[in-house]
Amino acid sequence: MKKFAIILSGCGVYDGSEIHETVLTMLAIDQSKASYQIFAPDIDHTHVVNHLTGEEMKETRNVLTESARIARGNALPLSDLKVKDFNALIFPGVFLAAKNLSTYAFEGKTFKVNPQVEKVVREAIENKTLIGALCISPVILARIIENVRLTIGNDPATNENLKEMGVETVDTTHGEIVVDEKNKVYSTPCYMLESSISQIADGANNLIKKMMNDLND
Amino acid sequence: MKKFAIILSGCGVYDGSEIHETVLTMLAIDQSKASYQIFAPDIDHTHVVNHLTGEEMKETRNVLTESARIARGNALPLSDLKVKDFNALIFPGVFLAAKNLSTYAFEGKTFKVNPQVEKVVREAIENKTLIGALCISPVILARIIENVRLTIGNDPATNENLKEMGVETVDTTHGEIVVDEKNKVYSTPCYMLESSISQIADGANNLIKKMMNDLND
């Protein structure tokens, strides 16, 4: 049975992992007769956002604890992730590029990536472990993997930032998958495009199907 | 286009709405070419649970604000729900019977239902608006609708409580739907049974398909 590690950054699009993309990725993996384990860094949220108003809340929440909501309790610290035990890593998306996993949302092109995230991505590249990324989360990979090829849909500002970083971006529409054959990176735009929840399911299904095909080759 | 009102109680199985059941209900409705709007009571959580440890947290969270995480911001106060504008109401499940929507988890058989929830359910019954309930949430309906027929899977203790309340419970397994034709109540067990996420998708799909068939009759 193929094993996926899903790396989360909380629970909610505006300050953590996008919930629909995460749940529909879990479903796609389970429907492909593969298994998954959820991981998240055991750190404080960069900030907490009221999802009704969009305003910042004066609260502190823990990324691992909040990620456990989507995982029904079964979430592990990212520091426990042994990449060699998995066939693939998956990063669901989050508003403005993986708050909690990187600083892109706050610092733009000069952003930094969480060191635990950088470590597992580098191990995945070394081990030829597949890496999947939905929505804006390919931006994280752009900082770590030189000249990576990926999609973030067709957002001009993000594309411009990525091109300046030497990334080959490919414009895509709903449900399309871009594969970087050299680095084994699979990406799909999901909510980087104005989407229905069915289109998010299509993106997640197509991503996992393509990764499973390549794993079974 | 048929319109569903989804009534949430927060964001997370142990203190609010079960996230997988909610997202997969939203997906099933969208894939049926119907539309949905999310509602939740604008009240404080009964309590907040750390989903990693199961322990209570010394925090206050608002049910509507947290529900907005699953809704990507598009959640309305339950007090704004005009039942006559919708073809159906849906209650996704939650651990131990709809904390925040009722007191069943804390008071057992003598539990009380949130007055706003009771009001919209009574209006639905009067208007012949369909009512769908996943997992443990049929228990809420048992308090409001006399001699209702429903399923909560096959949990002996809950079945016993419901029978004492005059409810006709039907044991079910994964993906099965029980229909109360008189009251137009549709229920399915979902996570009341030990389930994979694919089995939750089956339950949500079968529930919405059955309700859509009856709406289109």
Residues of B in contact with A77 (CB under 8 A): none
CA distance A49 to chain B (A): 9
Catalytic residue among B121, B135, B139, B179: B135
Q: Which of B69, B190, B194 to mutate to test the interface with A (most CBs of A within 10 A)?
A: B69
pLDDT in tens, B129-172: 999 999 999 999 998 999 999 999 999 988 998 999 899 999 99
Residues of A in contact with B9 (CB under 8 A): none
Band (B182; pLDDT cuts 50, 70, 90): very high
A58-73 burial by CB neighbour count: b if 16+ within 10 A, else e?
A: eeebbbbbbbbbbbbb
User: Which of B13, B19, B196 lies closest to A30 in CB terms?
Assistant: B196
> How many Cβ pairs closer than 8 A exist between chain A and B?
94
What pLDDT was estimated at residue A51?
A: 96
Q: Are A20 and A103 in contact (CB under 8 A)?
A: no
Q: Are A70 and B23 in contact (CB under 8 A)?
A: no
Residues of A in contact with B59 (CB under 8 A): 59
What pLDDT was estimated at residue B6?
A: 98
Q: Are B188 and B90 in contact (CB under 8 A)?
A: no
Q: Are A140 and A98 in contact (CB under 8 A)?
A: yes
| The pLDDT of residue B189 is above 90 | yes
What pLDDT was estimated at residue B97?
A: 58
* Predicted ipTM > 0.90: yes
CA distance A166 to chain B (A): 32
Interface of A with B in 56-75 (CB under 8 A): 59, 64-66, 68-73, 75
Tokens of A18: 């996008």
Residues of B in contact with A70 (CB under 8 A): 19
Question: Is A135 marked active-site?
Answer: yes
Residues of B in contact with A68 (CB under 8 A): 50-52
Interface of B with A in 168-207 (CB under 8 A): 196-198, 201
Cα torsion angle, A160, A176, A211, A29, sign: positive
| pLDDT, tens digit only, all 217 positions of chain A | 999 999 999 999 999 999 999 999 999 999 999 999 999 999 999 899 999 999 999 999 999 999 999 999 999 999 999 999 999 999 998 765 567 788 887 777 788 899 999 999 999 999 999 999 999 999 999 989 999 999 999 999 889 989 988 999 999 999 999 999 999 999 999 999 999 999 999 999 999 999 999 999 8
Pairing of strands A149-150, A168-169: parallel
CA distance A23 to chain B (A): 6
Q: Which of A51, A76, A135 to mutate to test the interface with B (most CBs of B within 10 A)?
A: A51
Closest-CA residue of B relative to A21 is B23
User: Which of B59, B68, B198 lies closest to A52 in CB terms?
Assistant: B68
What pLDDT was estimated at residue B99?
A: 72
Band (B98; pLDDT cuts 50, 70, 90): low
Location of structure tokens 């949220």: A45
Band (B100; pLDDT cuts 50, 70, 90): confident
Band (B92; pLDDT cuts 50, 70, 90): very high
pLDDT in tens, A145-198: 999 999 999 999 889 989 988 999 999 999 999 999 999 999 999 999 999 999
Q: Are A66 and A90 in contact (CB under 8 A)?
A: no
Cα distances from A194 to residues A175, A190, A191, in angstroms, run: 12, 8, 6
Q: Are A66 and B50 in contact (CB under 8 A)?
A: no
Look over chain B and give the mean of its residue pLDDT values, rounded to a whole number: 94
Question: Residue A41 is inside which H or E element, if any?
Answer: none
* Cβ contact B51–A68 (<8 Å): yes
Render A78-103 in DSSP notation, one character per residue.
Answer: GGG--GGG-SEEEE---HHHHBTTBS
